[in-house]
A = this chain, B = another copy of it.
Amino acid sequence: MKRLDSTHADFRAGFTRLLADREGDTARVDAPVAEILARVRAEGDAALCAYTERFDRMPITPDRLRVTEAEIEAACAQVSPDLLRALDVAAARIESFHRAQLPADLRYTDAEGVELGMRWTPLDAVGLYVPGGTAAYPSSVLMNAVPARVAGVERLAMCVPTPDGVLNPLVLAAARRAGVSEIYRVGGAQAVAALAYGTATIQPVDRVVGPGNAYVAEAKRQVFGRVGIDSIAGPSEVVVVADAGADARIVALDLLAQAEHDALAQSILITTDAALADRVAAAVEAELRTLPRAAIAGASWTTHGAIILVRDLDEAAALINEIAPEHLELLLAEPEALFARVRHAGAVFLGYQCAEAIGDYVGGPNHVLPTSRTARFASGLSVFDFLKRTTFIGAGPDALLRIGPAAVALARAEGLDAHALSVSARLDAQRSGADKA
């Protein structure tokens, strides 16, 4: 963990290193992914089965790729009623928030008499990628699938690797609760290929969403254009801003909640209170002694963690906007003043009580968020990922006479004569009609 102090002469250098130290080049998997995509495109289900046998150590035939209703039922029956209720709470809250996000269509007639508008429509079919193994999170299934359903997507096809054939019952329960229509036991780049190109068993979709490892990310990058994709997720981070009123153990747990995801995760505390900084540092060490995922969380905290002492919240605001954190907790007596000055952040948690983990499960907003400083330009998953816009224009004869000549002038200047003629022919017809009248 690095301690930085904004009053020190070398602060800027240390802060820059802190941001840069997770950048590095990710493993180059372009070539193997391109090979997997090409093979799935050429061989379809046979390639899916071959790759699943190789990567998930699970011999499989095409007829077994799809998880059956009976398997889903059996899996759900294994989940405790308490957990099913917790899933319900989460799903209902996610649904409610994403419903509030739904945008309104636009339609109006402007001063020139031109009718203008924009209509939102859902995608027909979406593919949800759900990571397998230790990262198979039922909450992620809800966060990906519920917004798609709220947007009006009819067909939701989910791919999840089942290493050694093991299905995660809670993942299946979440998928059923979220309205996923099809589940396939396929993972990795081969799953993305199947969703993008289609096979005999898996019909192609229009957009692929969901987090994954480097192979999944590269596969999404390579199929982008043929289908839509969501942002490519990198390592995750949290910035916690805390004042003297924050409880040091709670701050420590919030930092560790991020750190326990991944050794590449980054947890940063920004505070004006040197005594709190010391107490949090000690509390992190204390919690690491008993935390089950201490190996991961400790590695993250040691390598990428930081406590930054700042003069005031003005400095905190500037640092936040430079980091553009995925998660931002404002454990402050008055969080709103600082929040008003945050330009770049994926999701913000206001006040002492609002643990980031609330947002991971039951807050309502999405937990699929822009990582690794991409909140500078990207947003969390939302209904907007599952909708697209159609703009429209209607112009009657009068409106055409008012705005058409400028179009003709510009089309001619661009050397696009058919463009110009398509408008001027209409203008001529109107004018000659007006002459006759």
Instruction: Please list the residues of chain A having a beta carbon within 8 angstroms of any beta carbon in chain B.
Output: 30, 82-83, 85-87, 89-90, 93, 96-97, 100-101, 103, 106, 108, 110, 114-116, 118, 121, 123-124, 134, 137-139, 170, 206-207, 217, 221, 224-225, 227-228, 231-232, 234, 247, 249-250, 253-254, 256-257, 259-261, 287, 291-293, 297, 335, 339, 342-366, 370, 374-380, 382, 384, 388-397, 399-400, 403-407, 409-411, 413-423, 425-426, 429-430
**Partner among B232, B364, B406, B423 whose Cβ is within 8 Å of the Cβ of A225:** B232
Q: In the complex where A221-B224, A429-B247 touch, is A362 in contact with B407 (Cβ < 8 A)?
A: yes
CA distance A375 to B391 in the complex (A): 11
Q: List 11 A-B contacts (CB under 8 A).
A: A86-B407, A97-B116, A118-B365, A123-B376, A170-B414, A217-B225, A250-B426, A342-B390, A350-B392, A353-B396, A362-B406
Copies per complex of this chain: 2
**Partner among B224, B362, B406 whose Cβ is within 8 Å of the Cβ of A232:** B224
Contact B394 A354 (CB under 8 A): yes
**Partner among B97, B339, B393 whose Cβ is within 8 Å of the Cβ of A350:** B393
Chain B nearest CB from A138 CB (Å) reads 7
CB neighbours of A347 from chain B (8 A): 390-393
Contact A228 B378 (CB under 8 A): yes
Q: In the complex where A353-B400, A391-B365 touch, is A100 in contact with B108 (Cβ < 8 A)?
A: yes
Contact B413 A83 (CB under 8 A): yes
Contact B376 A410 (CB under 8 A): no
Contact A410 B221 (CB under 8 A): no
CA distance A90 to B407 in the complex (A): 8
Chain B nearest CB from A107 CB (Å) reads 10
Chain B nearest CB from A395 CB (Å) reads 5
Contact A407 B360 (CB under 8 A): yes
**Partner among B124, B351, B380, B409 whose Cβ is within 8 Å of the Cβ of A394:** B351
CA distance A116 to B116 in the complex (A): 32
Closest Cβ neighbor of A380 among chain B residues: B391
CA distance A219 to B137 in the complex (A): 34
CB neighbours of A421 from chain B (8 A): 253, 257, 287, 291
Contact B96 A418 (CB under 8 A): no
CB neighbours of A351 from chain B (8 A): 394-396
CA distance A355 to B338 in the complex (A): 50
Q: In the complex where A357-B420, A407-B357 touch, is A249 in contact with B425 (Cβ < 8 A)?
A: yes
Chain B nearest CB from A238 CB (Å) reads 11
CB neighbours of A207 from chain B (8 A): 377
CB neighbours of A353 from chain B (8 A): 395-397, 399-400, 426, 430
**Partner among B90, B346, B384, B420 whose Cβ is within 8 Å of the Cβ of A406:** B90
**CB-CB nearest 3 A-B residue pairs:** A365-B391, A350-B394, A228-B377
Q: A297-B418, A360-B419 are in contact. List 16 more A-B contacts (CB 8 A).
A: A30-B30, A83-B410, A96-B110, A110-B364, A116-B365, A118-B382, A225-B232, A253-B421, A260-B416, A293-B415, A354-B394, A355-B426, A357-B423, A358-B395, A358-B407, A362-B404
CB neighbours of A217 from chain B (8 A): 225
Contact A376 B124 (CB under 8 A): yes
CB neighbours of A348 from chain B (8 A): 390-393
Chain B nearest CB from A141 CB (Å) reads 11
Closest Cβ neighbor of A93 among chain B residues: B403
Contact A355 B116 (CB under 8 A): no
Contact A287 B377 (CB under 8 A): no
